[in-house]
Amino acid sequence: MNDHDQNGDDAARPNARPVVRLKPKAEARAIRHGFPWVYADELVTDRRTQALLPGALAVLEDVERRPLGLVTVNTKSKIIARVLDRNPDAEINEDWFAARLRVALALRERLFDQPFYRLVHAEADGLPGMVIDRFGPVAVVQPNAAWVEIHLSALVAALKSVTGVDTVVKNGTGRSRGLEGLPEETVVLDGLVGGPVPVPMNGATYMADLLGGQKTGLFYDQRPNHALTARLAKGARVLDMFSHVGGFALAALAGGANSALAVDASAPALELARRGAEASGLADRFDTRQGDAFEVLEALAAEGAEFDLVICDPPAFAPAKPALEAGLRAYERVARLAALLVAPGGYLVCCSCSHAADLSSFRNASARGIGRAGRRSQLIHTGFAGPDHPILPQLAEGGYLKSLFFRLDG
């Protein structure tokens, strides 16, 4: 297929958008049924397509030149096109963003009494490559795809209009931006951030650093798993490994735990956890320990420490397929070391946010680790991200979070 075949229609429509076309073996039916991505090996990448700037808008056609919708193109990315709208003539402007945001907001307002939640979860909310977390009057936008950067001013205007937030932060960090060829930066786009923001959740108050913390400053996805942990924590001695700002530890204390120890490699994260414990009135039962998680787990075992509830919520050990085998070995090691610290009849919670490690692989790795520690286990619950992190049914990759709740005997 030459350049003229690919784009010849454009000559008759000089104001028309560029056209990109699927290769003959690409699955157009999947796009029609809601799959939101086109991979680099599925698209005809002739000279004109290669010349499109990252984030450019184009009309996607099948091999028979039937339009499939409006897409954004980035030839630097393995996901070369993302479907924005089934209408190829849609205008991506403030009104378009506002319509998507109103639908997203309606769900969250039904789910939560207070405005602290994930407002936009990328493809599942019809805004691919974009995450927005809301912290009361502040919204943090993660533009993980080039097209979002191009339309950021329209997005911010719509966001303020629809939600009433007065401050918008751009958190341009993370692996996804590198894959899109985007630089890393965190800036306040509108309004003012005076310091960490208090976030009420599961009976505790968390302190979110919106400018210098991990991701958007707080992990909302674990909220339902925090809640179950709180039910298991009554009267318990709790160990929260990879604690960040005290996610599981503070929820456990709010649920009636006798004590909680939060362990993290980051001193600033532990300081925020301490401030959260103070704001929650839980500081007298809360302690922290800074260090490498594996070293701390081994040290605690050497000290003869014992806990009724241990939670391990590490960063993604297997963010992509090349890291899968090493990642699963790391999850197994975490489960083995943690299981040694759980009192008989106590509980171990193992979590993974790795896209490449599916539930079965992660569950098997965790069970192997528990078995290697000489412990017998019951899997009592499998938790996922909360409903403010919806999943597009056609995109299994959206279900990244897995939380396994084990009860240990012996």
| Lowest-confidence pick of 4-8, 61-65, 215-219, 230-234 | 4-8
Superfamily name and number for 3-85:
PUA domain (2.30.130.10)
**pLDDT confidence of 11, banded at 50, 70, 90?**
very low
What is the rounded CA–CA span in Å between residue 302 and residue 79?
47
Question: Bigger pLDDT: 97 or 181?
Answer: 97
- Quick: pLDDT tens for 347-395: 999 999 998 999 999 999 999 999 999 999 999 999 999 999 999 999 8
* DSSP label of 42: G
pLDDT averaged over the chain?
Answer: 94
Angle at 140 between CA 135 and CA 142, to 5 degrees: 145
Give pLDDT, residue 217.
86
- Cα–Cα distance for residue pair 255/236, rounded to 1 Å: 10
Enumerate the active-site residues.
Answer: 353
How high is the pLDDT of residue 179? 80
Could you say which of 3.40.50.150, 3.30.70.260, 3.20.20.80, 3.40.630.30 is the CATH number of the domain covering 201-409? 3.40.50.150
How many other β-carbons are positioned within 10 Å of the β-carbon of residue 258? Answer: 14
pLDDT at residue 3 in the model: 43
Q: Which of 313, 336, 249, 320 is nearest to 285 (CA)?
A: 249
State the Cα–Cα distance between residues 75 and 45, nearest whole angstrom.
8
Task: Assign 314 a pLDDT band (cuts: 50, 70, 90).
Answer: very high
**pLDDT grade, residue 399 (50/70/90)?**
confident
Q: How many CB atoms lie within 10 A of CB 178?
A: 12
Could you state, in order of their start, the residue ranges of all structural domains in the chain?
3-85, 94-190, 201-409
pLDDT (tens digit per residue) in 163-195:
999 999 999 988 888 888 889 999 999 999 999
Query: Which pLDDT band, with edges at 50, 70 and 90, does 212 fall under?
Result: confident
DSSP 22: B
For residue 113, pLDDT beyond 90: yes
CA distance 323 to 325: 6
- State the pLDDT confidence band at 209, using cuts at 50, 70 and 90: very high
Question: Strand 286-290 and strand 259-264: pairing?
Answer: parallel
- pLDDT exceeds cutoff 80 at 65: yes
pLDDT at 5 exceeding the cut of 70: no
Note the pLDDT tens digit of each residue in 264-306.
Answer: 999 999 999 999 999 999 999 999 999 999 999 999 999 999 9
| CA angle (407 as vertex; 402, 409 as ends), nearest 5 | 145
Helix axes 267-279, 247-254, angle to 10 degrees: 20
The predicted pLDDT at position 316 comes to: 93
For domain 94-190, the CATH architecture is 2-Layer Sandwich (3.30)
Residue 116: phi and psi, rounded to 5, are -130, 105
Question: Percent of the chain at pLDDT above 70?
Answer: 96
pTM: 0.92
